[in-house]
Amino acid sequence: MSGDGAEGEIAGLKLIADETRWRILRALRPSDRQVGELVALTGLPQNLVSYHLGVLRQAGIVQLHRSDADGRATYYGISLGELGGIYRQIGADLAIPAPFAPSELPARTVVFLCRANSARSQMAEGWLRALTGGRVTVRSGGTRPTQLHPLANQVMAEVGVDIGHQQAKLIDTLTDLAPDMVVTVCDIAREECPLWPDVGARMHWSIPDPVAVAGAEERLTAFRAVRDSLRERVDGLIALLRSPG
């Protein structure tokens, strides 16, 4: 987003105040989606959805990721950091307080899923547990679990979150939890994950696999980037958990 201070926030507000773009953002808020899914949810023509996605991408408010499960498919997701920057600037300028304490959260159960349950879902589990002070019951699992990746443990420890006690596990071991939310954090798991009976909400975060990155330094950088992206996503999830609806 170009512009600083008041100019930047006003430009951001004008951009997202467009009715069509607002409908697209609301559809993307809980979950990453493909264009066809956005068309179905908004009832808008595909060419109109694609145009406004392009505008939002250019502003950095929407980002895309080519599916790891099918290279022909693309997922769009909100950049919560960019939107959060607009929100925080407005709040600061108008001196609007935004207090939050974990005790204010309703009791909820959230499950994160990926294929191997070795990195992305484990880091997401660690973040949600740490940021809510354990108020939210959170677990993670995989469709084909392996073991906790040492780099996932390392990069989370760098920010003071201990996930060393967490273990990779099969989805089937979590079915008795009756979660309020199930969040898939890899595209392959979204395709492989069976329907979860009686789940309150299903969401998808199209997060690239850091394990697949070649080169030791490059892989560590990728793990840190995914860690930070998941922190942003989990912050957004907590905001949804706090919402009365």
Length of the chain counted residue by residue: 245
**Cβ–Cβ under 8 Å, residues 223 and 157:** no
**Cβ–Cβ under 8 Å, residues 95 and 42:** no
> Residue 60 region, left (φ>0) first, then alpha (ψ -120 to 50), else beta?
left
Please identify every residue annotated as catalytic: 114, 186, 193
